[in-house]
Amino acid sequence: MRRLRDLNTFSKIAIGFIGGAVLAGGVATAAVSFSGNIVNACADKKTGALYASTATSCPSGRSAVTLGIGSTIKFTVQKVQPSVVTVNVKASDGSGDTGSGSIIKSDASGSYVVTNNHVIDAMTVAGNTYSLSITLNDGTIIPATVVGRDISYDLAVLHINTGNLPVIPIGDSSKLSIGDPVIAFGSPLGLNGTVTSGIVSSLNRPVTTQSSSAAAQSYVDAIQTDAPINPGNSGGPLTDSQGNMVGIDSAIASLGGQSTSGSIGLGFAIPINEAQRTINEIITSPGHTSTRPLLGVSFDNSYTGVGAKILQVTAGGAASNAGIPVGAVVTKISGTRTPDSQTAIVKIRSYAPGSTVTITCTLPDGSTSVYTVTLGSAPSNN
């Protein structure tokens, strides 16, 4: 069974979940060919980090390597690939889906895997019995369980009883810049072990997605990349050039009118800094649930002007406490322009509960005011 759902976005393209497809066959790794200068480097024996060097030898604890651009990608792939898995969802009627994931925590008792909620979303639909398993990089298949999920952020955490597995290094998505090289890992179309590369083509791209089993939407302040990602890459890691996970692949764009498509060079990933808080809450909270920030307003979806018009303000909520009135139009959140209500929601959801943000509003009398708001907290859609 192949799933690729339409999403909402703010341009004349269709965005789709990059769900998987069950596909018989072997493993494929995308070939990448580059030309360029050869450089000398030293690789840290423990972390794998690369350090440029003009010397003829490396210090203790580092190994000498001679690299071109393509060789650098090869080195990074060797570092990351052991922590990347395939997520398998199979139904009693024989249908199924595949997605991707990353091992984010492992000890002697077991391991945690992060993926997208929409990869396992079918398991919540009545009428079928489903099994869930993880395929490790070496081909080992292990039964898995769902620890918790957050529809609002399109994230899910799984657990397997196999421990002491390689864990993916976590990066800092706030340090990304447009043009930075990135690498996408996963199982597009069920082809385990696939790797593609590209660059960060945009940041803070507002993308909303619709769950198939619930009315709730997920909101992503996304990393946009031209690294080819396809159905089945869902939940797989997007890494920087050093192999640190900076995002979780979640959606792709397709040409208008097409509900299913391969990569056209427009892919979207959940920034790891945004995802990490939710992942940690799911793992550590008593009920394996998570939270989301709350501004305490309802926006007027019929408003056609520029900005997000406030229709209602919740008494005692964050906006009310800051003095933001009904009828105000939000035009910026912490300096980021908000041309519509969906962009405003996505931006608010990118913060942690309790964060302090500045809200710039055009008031009903036409004046402009800036408010300092401490965001509230609410249970997320789990």
The answer to whether residues 176 and 69 touch, using CB atoms and an 8 Å cutoff, is no
**In a shared domain, residues 219 and 339:** no
Q: Which two tokens stand for residue 348?
A: 């608010």
**In a shared domain, residues 182 and 160:** yes
**In a shared domain, residues 366 and 348:** yes
Within a 13 Å sphere around the CA of 352, how many CA atoms are in the beta-carbon half?
Answer: 11
**In a shared domain, residues 63 and 200:** no
C-alpha distances out from residue 63 to 43, 66, 100, 266, Å: 5, 10, 32, 37
**In a shared domain, residues 334 and 308:** yes
Q: CB atoms < 10 A from the CB of 110, how many? A: 16
pLDDT at 18: 58
C-alpha distances out from residue 225 to 70, 125, 196, 239, 274, Å: 19, 32, 11, 11, 17
Q: How far is CA 42 from the centre of its chain?
A: 31
Q: What is the CATH number of the domain that holds 89?
A: 2.40.10.120
Residue type present at position 203 = L
**In a shared domain, residues 250 and 355:** no
Which of 267, 289, 311 corresponds to the end of one domain? 289
Which of 268, 289, 310 corresponds to the end of one domain? 289
The answer to whether residues 267 and 168 touch, using CB atoms and an 8 Å cutoff, is no
The DSSP letter of residue 69 is H
Q: Which two tokens stand for residue 232?
A: 């089945």
Dihedral angle of Cα 50, 201, 18, 104, to the nearest 10 degrees: 30
Q: Tell me which residue range forms the domain holding 118.
A: 1-34+83-289
The answer to whether residues 314 and 305 touch, using CB atoms and an 8 Å cutoff, is no
Which phi and psi angles does 117 have, rounded to 5°?
A: -60, -35
The answer to whether residues 341 and 299 touch, using CB atoms and an 8 Å cutoff, is yes
**In a shared domain, residues 106 and 65:** no
**In a shared domain, residues 97 and 222:** yes
Q: Which residues contact 345 (CB under 8 A, 6 or more apart)?
A: 208, 219, 299, 308
As a whole number of angstroms, the distance between CA 296 and CA 345 comes to: 11
As a whole number of angstroms, the distance between CA 370 and CA 270 comes to: 29
Q: What is the CATH number of the domain that holds 328?
A: 2.30.42.10
Number of domains in the chain: 3
Q: CB atoms < 10 A from the CB of 143, how many? A: 12
Please, what are the averages of pLDDT over each run of 10 residues along the chain (382 residues)?
A: 39 50 34 40 78 76 68 83 95 83 97 95 75 95 96 95 97 95 91 92 85 66 92 93 94 63 81 96 94 96 95 96 97 96 94 97 96 96 75
For the sheet containing 96-107, what is the strand order?
141-143, 130-135, 84-91, 96-107, 110-115, 155-160, 145-150
Q: Which helix (H) or strand (E) holds 274?
A: helix 272-284
Which long-range contacts does 42-47 make (Cβ < 8 Å, 24+ apart)? 43/75, 47/169
**In a shared domain, residues 89 and 1:** yes
The DSSP letter of residue 345 is H
Which of 289, 319, 337 corresponds to the end of one domain? 289
As a whole number of angstroms, the distance between CA 79 and CA 10 comes to: 37
Q: What is the pTM of this model?
A: 0.81
As a whole number of angstroms, the distance between CA 311 and CA 327 comes to: 6
**In a shared domain, residues 50 and 74:** yes
Question: Which residue blocks in 126-242 are alpha helix, DSSP H?
Answer: none
Q: CB atoms < 10 A from the CB of 246, how many? A: 26
pLDDT at 129: 83
What is residue 62's three-state secondary structure?
A: strand
Residue type present at position 204 = N
Catalytic residues: 118, 154, 234
